Chains A and B, each alone.
Chain A
Amino acid sequence: MNPPEKTAPSRVRIQTGAAAVPAAVTGTTAAPAFQPELVFDSRDVSIFYGAKQALTAVTLGIRRGEITALIGPSGCGKTTFLRSLNRMNDSVSGFRIEGSIRYHGHELYGGNVDQVEVRRRIGMVFQKPNPFPKSIYDNVAWAPRNLGLRRGLDERVEAALRGAALWDEVKDRLKDSALGLSGGQQQRLCIARAIAIEPDVLLLDEPASALDPIATGAIEDLMHSLKGRFTIVIVTHNMQQAARVADRTAFFSLETGGEKPVGTLIEVGETERIFAEPRDPRTRDYVTGRFG
């Protein structure tokens, strides 16, 4: 887009990663041989809150440079899974995880893992826009300042705001409070805030659910433009949205076999395939039900 845009080297690296994708297209979850291209490799993950089990036996690989959508009915654990990818659940009381999530081959819940380092590399945007009660500029500059990235801060803020397609709307009022922005602008500001520190992964938790259709469209366009630069995982309840933005889609649902229903992963694959020819009847019911 514009010249001082982010790091050329990392883009190159991502594209080589993406170039390797076709080789693995057919496998739903990665065989060990293809592990290097996976950003996240979760195996048999179960999550509990106190005595209540929220998620069972999720085995799912997230590929580098792609957009992966997590869809499914409410309460199926897709947000829980997303939040466990950058350890946002750690502060929830009673949270417990079983199984293994590897991030670039490193155990995410391993002994010497630093939570803050995890979140520095894996950014997150929440369902409800949550800008800080600071100026627009300070919202974006806050995290880079923490990281000590004071050199070229103005350019960094501008690049992040451009990256979030917000620059033209706010460039004349950077010192104004972020709380004066519209909901859609606030959400794009939150995305700008997250990409300002150039993370490796972006986790988006129903980022457009609180927004009107126009703002939703803006966010979806934005995701297309961010694709390739970041690995993106998005939770959405809106299937059209998943179909529009995602390379791959994972369908979560409630497993009703046990005493209490527990969320689990039903099926994952290329987005077109999931919507056009779902293999699991539950996926088919959900997908056709919503579309029909």
Chain B
Amino acid sequence: MSEGAIPDPAAPLTPSGNLRRRQLVSRAAELAATAAAVLAVGALAIVVYTVVSRGAKAIDLDFVFTGYPTGVGPMLLGTLVIALVATAMAMPVGVLIALYLTEYAGARGSNALRLTLDLLNGLPSIILGLFVFALLVDHKQQSGFAGAVALAIIELPLIARGSQEVLLLVPQSLREASDALGVARWRSVLTVVLPTALGGIVTSTVLAVARAAGETAPLILASSVFDPKSFTVNPFESMPNVPVWIYKLSEEGNPEGFTEAWGMSLLLVSFILFASLGARALLARSKRKLSS
């Protein structure tokens, strides 16, 4: 039993017993964890570096504003329109779901609804592609709108969850103050709760758009047969778009096409990175403001 006692309490405070070995194990683990973080950040850096260095060669004004083959303007326009249509559908529904969760739902209802949102969020995007194909394309024709419906389903849980978090931060006292004054719920929601949370709702939406803008799988089924020269803003026909065009060029195996694809990748990645970094910073700020 006495083997466990400290042999000499007055000994110097350097590792005794098996401690040197245990410290070695611990240091190795710390090193491995640090290496893992370096690996992930390194992978991101390599991907971004490749996209930037190869894409920058392709990009000039013609690339952004003219049609094929000198530029990818139609694809950019199409992606913009599809994203706008998708957000126009997803944002109101998402915010209303968030309101339902924070203002009305009981414990059981909100559990079920949150589970639904989580499941929606976990749906593979190719499944959503099949879905909109069956619903809107089969026996009809491809359309930007069909793609937008799929993207809206992708955005919906993100907007609902993000808005809910911000709405929860709106001080309960604001609501109670209105209730105590006999103000109707709908008035206080429209005049107090929503305006206070507006900043956070918008930034959650921007994050959702950044996530949806690069989605390719649904568009392959919904809006992939198009004329890369045509600037169209009609969502009820097949629309040129950035992700599908990158995908097609990557499948073709033509070096010039690769350069073009890198160029579009750079545009897409810069939009996504700036949008998500900016939105994150804003979101953190507005949350801090609300919770202080």
B163-191 near A? 1/0 per residue, CB < 8 Å: 00000000000000000000000000000
**A84-142 CB contacts (< 8 Å) to partner B:** 103-106, 108, 110, 112-114, 116-118, 120-121
B10 touches A9 (CB 8 A): no
Nearest residue, chain B, Cβ from A159:
B1
* Minimum CB distance partner of B22 in chain A: A146
The 0/1 profile, CB within 8 Å of B marked 1, for residues 1-40 of chain A is 0001011111000000000000000000000000000010
Q: Is B19 an interface residue (CB 8 A)?
A: yes
Which residues of the other chain, A, contact B6 by a CB distance below 8 angstroms?
A: 10, 120-121, 198-200
A276 in contact (CB, < 8 A): no
Whether B10 lies near A104 (C-beta < 8 A) is yes
Q: Is B23 interfacial (CB 8 A cutoff)?
A: yes
- Chain A residues bordering chain B, tally (CB within 8 A): 35
Does B253 interact with chain A (Cβ within 8 Å)? no
A139 to B1, CA, bound (A): 19
B102 to chain A, nearest CB (A): 32
Residues 1-57 of B contacting A (Cβ, < 8 Å): 1-6, 9-10, 12-19, 22-23
CB contacts (< 8 Å) of B9 on chain A: these are: 39, 104, 121, 200
Q: Which of B1, B2, B14, B18 counts the most chain A CB atoms within 10 A?
A: B1
Give the Cβ gap from A41 to chain B, nearest Cβ, in Å.
Answer: 12
Interface residues on B, range: 10 to 19
Q: Mark B110-149, 1 if CB is under 8 A from A, else 0.
A: 0000000000000000000000000000000000000000
Closest Cβ of chain B to A4, distance in Å, is 6
**Interface segment, one of A47-55, A147-155, A239-247:** A147-155
CA distance A151 to B19 in the complex (A): 17
In the complex, A278 has a CB within 8 A of chain B? no
A118 near B1 (CB under 8 angstroms)? Answer: no
CA distance A200 to B16 in the complex (A): 14
The verdict on A114 contacting B23 (CB below 8 Å), with A7-B5, A105-B10 known, is yes
Known contacts A104-B9, A105-B10; is-contact A147 B1 (Cβ 8 Å) = no
The residue on B at minimum CB distance from A5 is B1
Q: In the complex, which of the residues B1, B2, B13 contacts A117, with contact meaning CB atoms closer than 8 Å? A: B13
Given A10-B5, A114-B14, A146-B22, 13 more pairs with CB closer than 8 A? A4-B1, A6-B2, A9-B2, A10-B6, A104-B9, A110-B13, A112-B13, A116-B22, A117-B14, A121-B9, A148-B18, A156-B1, A199-B6
Question: What are 27 sample pairs from A and B whose C-beta atoms fall under 8 A apart?
Answer: A6-B1, A6-B2, A9-B5, A10-B5, A10-B6, A104-B9, A105-B10, A106-B13, A108-B13, A112-B13, A113-B14, A114-B13, A114-B19, A116-B19, A116-B23, A117-B13, A120-B16, A120-B19, A121-B6, A121-B13, A147-B4, A147-B18, A148-B17, A197-B4, A198-B5, A199-B6, A200-B9
Interchain residue pairs A-B with the least CB separation, the first 7? A104-B10, A200-B9, A7-B2, A113-B13, A7-B5, A198-B5, A148-B18
Interface on A for B, CB 8 Å cutoff?
4, 6-10, 39, 103-106, 108, 110, 112-114, 116-118, 120-121, 144, 146-149, 151-152, 155-156, 159, 197-200
